Structure 1
Amino acid sequence: MPLVTSRRFFELGDTVWARWYSARKETWELGTIKEKVGSKMYKIFIIKYEATCIRHIDQLLKFTGNDNSLKINNTDNVESRNFQSLPLLPSMPVNAPLSEPSVSNLRSSTIVEQPVNTDAIDHGNGEEWGDYSAQDSVGDSTKIPEASDSPEASENGVEQP
Protein backbone atom coordinates (compact mmCIF):
# COMPACT_ATOMS: atom_id res chain seq x y z
CA MET A 1 0.00 0.00 0.00
CA PRO A 2 1.48 3.41 -0.91
CA LEU A 3 2.43 5.90 1.77
CA VAL A 4 -0.17 8.66 2.07
CA THR A 5 1.30 12.13 2.37
CA SER A 6 -0.45 15.33 3.31
CA ARG A 7 -0.69 17.86 0.52
CA ARG A 8 -2.21 20.49 2.72
CA PHE A 9 -0.08 23.62 2.93
CA PHE A 10 -0.31 27.40 3.00
CA GLU A 11 1.63 30.11 1.20
CA LEU A 12 2.91 33.35 2.71
CA GLY A 13 0.15 35.95 2.62
CA ASP A 14 -2.72 33.42 2.54
CA THR A 15 -5.80 34.42 4.54
CA VAL A 16 -6.77 31.64 6.93
CA TRP A 17 -9.07 30.84 9.80
CA ALA A 18 -6.91 30.17 12.86
CA ARG A 19 -7.86 28.74 16.25
CA TRP A 20 -7.71 31.47 18.89
CA TYR A 21 -7.63 30.53 22.57
CA SER A 22 -8.68 33.28 24.97
CA ALA A 23 -10.59 33.50 28.24
CA ARG A 24 -11.07 29.72 28.29
CA LYS A 25 -12.83 29.88 24.94
CA GLU A 26 -11.82 28.66 21.52
CA THR A 27 -12.85 30.66 18.47
CA TRP A 28 -11.90 30.82 14.81
CA GLU A 29 -10.32 34.14 13.86
CA LEU A 30 -9.17 35.48 10.51
CA GLY A 31 -5.46 35.76 10.05
CA THR A 32 -2.68 35.98 7.51
CA ILE A 33 0.23 33.57 7.07
CA LYS A 34 3.40 35.52 7.87
CA GLU A 35 6.03 32.78 8.08
CA LYS A 36 6.48 29.01 7.95
CA VAL A 37 8.33 28.01 11.15
CA GLY A 38 8.39 24.23 10.75
CA SER A 39 7.18 21.48 8.47
CA LYS A 40 3.62 21.92 9.80
CA MET A 41 3.85 25.10 11.88
CA TYR A 42 3.00 28.63 10.74
CA LYS A 43 3.30 32.10 12.22
CA ILE A 44 -0.08 33.81 11.82
CA PHE A 45 -1.04 37.48 12.20
CA ILE A 46 -4.53 37.56 13.75
CA ILE A 47 -6.29 40.53 12.19
CA LYS A 48 -8.88 41.20 14.91
CA TYR A 49 -6.39 41.29 17.78
CA GLU A 50 -3.43 42.62 15.79
CA ALA A 51 -1.40 39.83 17.39
CA THR A 52 0.94 37.15 16.10
CA CYS A 53 0.71 33.49 17.10
CA ILE A 54 2.14 30.17 15.97
CA ARG A 55 -0.29 27.44 14.96
CA HIS A 56 -0.05 23.85 13.72
CA ILE A 57 -1.52 23.19 10.29
CA ASP A 58 -4.37 21.27 12.01
CA GLN A 59 -5.38 24.54 13.73
CA LEU A 60 -5.70 26.38 10.41
CA LEU A 61 -8.36 26.36 7.69
CA LYS A 62 -8.17 28.02 4.29
CA PHE A 63 -10.34 31.15 4.02
CA THR A 64 -12.60 30.57 1.02
CA GLY A 65 -14.38 33.93 1.00
CA ASN A 66 -13.60 36.93 -1.15
CA ASP A 67 -10.40 38.58 0.10
CA ASN A 68 -11.59 41.89 -1.36
CA SER A 69 -14.59 41.87 0.99
CA LEU A 70 -12.33 42.01 4.04
CA LYS A 71 -11.65 45.40 5.55
CA ILE A 72 -8.40 45.08 7.42
CA ASN A 73 -8.25 48.18 9.57
CA ASN A 74 -9.04 49.28 13.11
CA THR A 75 -12.60 50.39 12.27
CA ASP A 76 -13.55 46.91 11.05
CA ASN A 77 -16.33 45.27 13.03
CA VAL A 78 -17.52 41.69 13.38
CA GLU A 79 -20.63 42.14 11.24
CA SER A 80 -18.53 43.05 8.19
CA ARG A 81 -16.64 39.73 8.25
CA ASN A 82 -17.93 36.76 6.33
CA PHE A 83 -18.14 34.08 9.04
CA GLN A 84 -20.32 31.84 6.89
CA SER A 85 -17.39 31.11 4.57
CA LEU A 86 -15.86 28.71 7.11
CA PRO A 87 -15.76 25.31 5.36
CA LEU A 88 -17.18 22.33 7.23
CA LEU A 89 -15.15 19.18 6.76
CA PRO A 90 -17.00 15.86 7.21
CA SER A 91 -14.13 14.34 9.17
CA MET A 92 -13.82 17.31 11.50
CA PRO A 93 -17.07 19.08 12.55
CA VAL A 94 -16.39 22.71 13.29
CA ASN A 95 -18.66 25.40 14.69
CA ALA A 96 -18.24 28.83 13.18
CA PRO A 97 -18.10 31.68 15.68
CA LEU A 98 -21.63 32.92 16.34
CA SER A 99 -20.87 35.77 18.67
CA GLU A 100 -17.98 37.60 20.21
CA PRO A 101 -17.14 36.98 23.88
CA SER A 102 -18.69 39.65 26.06
CA VAL A 103 -16.51 41.92 28.14
CA SER A 104 -18.43 40.89 31.27
CA ASN A 105 -17.01 37.36 30.95
CA LEU A 106 -13.45 38.58 31.21
CA ARG A 107 -11.76 38.55 34.60
CA SER A 108 -8.84 40.45 35.95
CA SER A 109 -6.97 40.26 39.21
CA THR A 110 -5.01 42.77 41.20
CA ILE A 111 -2.41 41.71 43.74
CA VAL A 112 -1.74 44.20 46.50
CA GLU A 113 1.46 43.68 48.44
CA GLN A 114 1.18 44.21 52.19
CA PRO A 115 4.16 45.21 54.34
CA VAL A 116 5.44 42.48 56.67
CA ASN A 117 4.78 43.08 60.39
CA THR A 118 8.20 42.42 61.89
CA ASP A 119 6.80 42.58 65.45
CA ALA A 120 5.02 39.26 64.85
CA ILE A 121 8.17 37.37 63.83
CA ASP A 122 9.55 34.71 66.19
CA HIS A 123 13.15 35.76 66.83
CA GLY A 124 14.31 32.32 67.95
CA ASN A 125 13.50 32.33 71.68
CA GLY A 126 10.22 30.44 71.19
CA GLU A 127 8.46 32.42 73.93
CA GLU A 128 7.45 35.70 72.32
CA TRP A 129 5.07 36.25 69.44
CA GLY A 130 4.47 39.93 68.87
CA ASP A 131 3.19 41.58 72.05
CA TYR A 132 1.81 38.34 73.50
CA SER A 133 3.70 35.62 75.27
CA ALA A 134 2.94 31.96 74.61
CA GLN A 135 1.58 31.61 78.16
CA ASP A 136 -0.85 34.53 77.74
CA SER A 137 -2.37 33.07 74.59
CA VAL A 138 -3.09 29.67 76.20
CA GLY A 139 -3.76 30.69 79.80
CA ASP A 140 -2.54 29.17 83.06
CA SER A 141 -5.37 26.69 83.53
CA THR A 142 -5.61 25.36 79.97
CA LYS A 143 -4.23 21.89 79.52
CA ILE A 144 -3.46 20.73 76.01
CA PRO A 145 -4.80 17.15 75.77
CA GLU A 146 -2.41 14.37 74.89
CA ALA A 147 -3.40 11.62 72.47
CA SER A 148 -3.38 9.13 75.33
CA ASP A 149 -5.93 11.21 77.35
CA SER A 150 -8.81 10.32 75.03
CA PRO A 151 -11.33 7.60 75.99
CA GLU A 152 -10.54 5.83 72.72
CA ALA A 153 -6.86 5.63 73.69
CA SER A 154 -7.59 3.78 76.94
CA GLU A 155 -9.90 1.35 75.11
CA ASN A 156 -7.18 0.64 72.52
CA GLY A 157 -4.52 -0.11 75.12
CA VAL A 158 -2.59 3.17 75.03
CA GLU A 159 -0.93 3.73 78.37
CA GLN A 160 -1.47 7.02 80.16
CA PRO A 161 1.46 8.61 82.04
Structure 2
Amino acid sequence: MATASGSSDLAGSGAPPPGGEVQAAAAEEEEREVVRVRVKKCESFLPPEFRSFAVDPQITSLDVLQHILIRAFDLNGKKNFGISYLGQDRLGQEAYLSLLSDWDLSTAFVTASKPYLQLRVDIRPTEDSEYPVPWEAQLWVLPCPHRIIPPLAVHLLTVS
Protein backbone atom coordinates (compact mmCIF):
# COMPACT_ATOMS: atom_id res chain seq x y z
CA MET A 1 0.00 0.00 0.00
CA ALA A 2 2.79 2.39 0.90
CA THR A 3 4.46 1.79 -2.42
CA ALA A 4 1.33 2.55 -4.37
CA SER A 5 0.71 5.84 -2.54
CA GLY A 6 4.43 6.70 -2.75
CA SER A 7 4.49 6.27 -6.51
CA SER A 8 1.27 8.25 -6.91
CA ASP A 9 2.77 10.98 -4.74
CA LEU A 10 5.77 11.15 -7.09
CA ALA A 11 3.52 11.25 -10.12
CA GLY A 12 1.29 13.89 -8.57
CA SER A 13 4.21 16.07 -7.48
CA GLY A 14 5.58 16.28 -11.01
CA ALA A 15 8.81 14.50 -10.06
CA PRO A 16 10.18 12.22 -12.77
CA PRO A 17 10.08 8.48 -12.12
CA PRO A 18 13.38 6.82 -11.16
CA GLY A 19 15.64 6.73 -14.20
CA GLY A 20 13.49 9.38 -15.84
CA GLU A 21 16.39 11.79 -16.22
CA VAL A 22 18.27 9.31 -18.39
CA GLN A 23 15.18 8.66 -20.48
CA ALA A 24 14.52 12.39 -20.82
CA ALA A 25 18.10 13.02 -21.97
CA ALA A 26 17.83 10.21 -24.53
CA ALA A 27 14.50 11.57 -25.77
CA GLU A 28 15.99 15.06 -26.05
CA GLU A 29 18.86 13.70 -28.19
CA GLU A 30 16.41 11.87 -30.45
CA GLU A 31 14.25 14.96 -30.84
CA ARG A 32 17.09 17.26 -31.92
CA GLU A 33 16.15 18.50 -35.33
CA VAL A 34 19.25 20.56 -36.04
CA VAL A 35 22.92 20.23 -35.22
CA ARG A 36 25.08 23.28 -35.80
CA VAL A 37 28.41 22.43 -37.42
CA ARG A 38 31.65 24.43 -37.58
CA VAL A 39 34.35 23.20 -39.94
CA LYS A 40 38.04 24.03 -40.21
CA LYS A 41 39.72 23.03 -43.48
CA CYS A 42 43.45 22.37 -43.26
CA GLU A 43 45.46 22.05 -46.45
CA SER A 44 49.23 21.84 -46.60
CA PHE A 45 50.78 25.17 -45.66
CA LEU A 46 47.79 27.28 -46.67
CA PRO A 47 45.93 29.23 -44.00
CA PRO A 48 42.90 27.35 -42.66
CA GLU A 49 39.42 28.08 -43.99
CA PHE A 50 36.27 28.01 -41.88
CA ARG A 51 32.60 27.31 -42.66
CA SER A 52 29.47 26.96 -40.54
CA PHE A 53 26.18 25.28 -41.38
CA ALA A 54 23.45 23.17 -39.80
CA VAL A 55 22.32 19.62 -40.53
CA ASP A 56 19.46 17.37 -39.52
CA PRO A 57 21.08 14.47 -37.64
CA GLN A 58 18.15 12.18 -38.46
CA ILE A 59 18.81 12.27 -42.22
CA THR A 60 22.51 13.22 -42.49
CA SER A 61 24.77 10.31 -43.36
CA LEU A 62 28.53 10.43 -43.79
CA ASP A 63 28.05 10.44 -47.56
CA VAL A 64 25.71 13.45 -47.32
CA LEU A 65 28.15 15.26 -45.01
CA GLN A 66 31.00 14.64 -47.48
CA HIS A 67 28.92 16.17 -50.30
CA ILE A 68 28.09 19.19 -48.12
CA LEU A 69 31.80 19.70 -47.40
CA ILE A 70 32.73 19.33 -51.07
CA ARG A 71 30.26 22.08 -51.95
CA ALA A 72 31.09 24.28 -48.93
CA PHE A 73 34.82 24.33 -49.69
CA ASP A 74 34.49 24.04 -53.50
CA LEU A 75 36.48 20.81 -53.56
CA ASN A 76 34.71 19.57 -56.71
CA GLY A 77 35.18 16.00 -55.52
CA LYS A 78 38.71 15.91 -56.92
CA LYS A 79 40.62 16.07 -53.68
CA ASN A 80 41.16 13.31 -51.20
CA PHE A 81 40.24 14.45 -47.70
CA GLY A 82 39.70 13.11 -44.22
CA ILE A 83 37.09 14.27 -41.73
CA SER A 84 37.45 14.26 -37.97
CA TYR A 85 35.48 15.73 -35.07
CA LEU A 86 36.55 17.21 -31.77
CA GLY A 87 35.59 14.75 -29.06
CA GLN A 88 37.09 12.91 -26.14
CA ASP A 89 39.51 10.05 -26.56
CA ARG A 90 39.62 6.98 -24.31
CA LEU A 91 41.58 8.90 -21.68
CA GLY A 92 39.03 11.72 -21.58
CA GLN A 93 41.31 14.17 -23.38
CA GLU A 94 40.04 16.38 -26.19
CA ALA A 95 41.22 15.03 -29.51
CA TYR A 96 40.14 14.93 -33.12
CA LEU A 97 38.54 11.55 -33.80
CA SER A 98 38.12 10.20 -37.33
CA LEU A 99 34.74 10.07 -39.03
CA LEU A 100 34.95 6.90 -41.10
CA SER A 101 31.39 5.58 -40.99
CA ASP A 102 27.79 6.51 -40.33
CA TRP A 103 28.21 5.00 -36.86
CA ASP A 104 31.09 7.42 -36.15
CA LEU A 105 28.92 10.32 -37.33
CA SER A 106 26.01 9.23 -35.10
CA THR A 107 28.41 9.03 -32.16
CA ALA A 108 29.68 12.53 -32.96
CA PHE A 109 26.12 13.89 -33.07
CA VAL A 110 25.29 12.38 -29.67
CA THR A 111 28.54 13.01 -27.79
CA ALA A 112 30.17 16.08 -29.32
CA SER A 113 27.56 18.37 -30.86
CA LYS A 114 26.71 20.72 -28.00
CA PRO A 115 26.69 23.63 -28.55
CA TYR A 116 28.00 22.72 -32.01
CA LEU A 117 29.83 19.89 -33.76
CA GLN A 118 33.40 20.93 -34.49
CA LEU A 119 34.84 19.24 -37.58
CA ARG A 120 38.25 19.34 -39.21
CA VAL A 121 38.75 18.55 -42.88
CA ASP A 122 42.32 17.55 -43.74
CA ILE A 123 43.09 17.77 -47.44
CA ARG A 124 45.51 15.07 -48.51
CA PRO A 125 47.60 16.15 -51.48
CA THR A 126 47.55 14.03 -54.59
CA GLU A 127 50.48 13.45 -56.90
CA ASP A 128 49.17 16.02 -59.38
CA SER A 129 48.42 18.55 -56.65
CA GLU A 130 49.35 22.17 -57.19
CA TYR A 131 50.59 22.24 -53.57
CA PRO A 132 52.99 19.32 -53.26
CA VAL A 133 54.11 18.37 -49.79
CA PRO A 134 57.75 19.33 -49.19
CA TRP A 135 60.08 16.43 -48.49
CA GLU A 136 60.66 17.57 -44.89
CA ALA A 137 56.92 17.58 -44.14
CA GLN A 138 56.57 13.98 -45.32
CA LEU A 139 58.57 12.90 -42.29
CA TRP A 140 55.80 14.14 -39.99
CA VAL A 141 53.15 11.52 -40.60
CA LEU A 142 51.80 11.18 -37.08
CA PRO A 143 48.26 10.28 -36.02
CA CYS A 144 47.88 13.19 -33.61
CA PRO A 145 49.36 16.54 -34.69
CA HIS A 146 49.09 18.22 -31.28
CA ARG A 147 51.47 15.66 -29.81
CA ILE A 148 54.32 16.27 -32.22
CA ILE A 149 57.71 16.22 -30.56
CA PRO A 150 60.18 18.43 -32.42
CA PRO A 151 63.30 16.73 -33.75
CA LEU A 152 66.62 17.37 -32.13
CA ALA A 153 68.40 20.29 -33.70
CA VAL A 154 71.73 19.43 -35.20
CA HIS A 155 74.22 22.27 -35.37
CA LEU A 156 77.37 22.16 -37.37
CA LEU A 157 80.30 23.85 -35.77
CA THR A 158 83.20 24.99 -37.75
CA VAL A 159 86.53 25.53 -36.10
CA SER A 160 88.72 28.20 -37.64
| TM-score, length basis structure 2 | 0.21
Instruction: Give 1 or 2: higher helix fraction.
Output: 2
| TM-score, length basis structure 1 | 0.21
Higher relative contact order (CA 8 A, sep 6+): 2
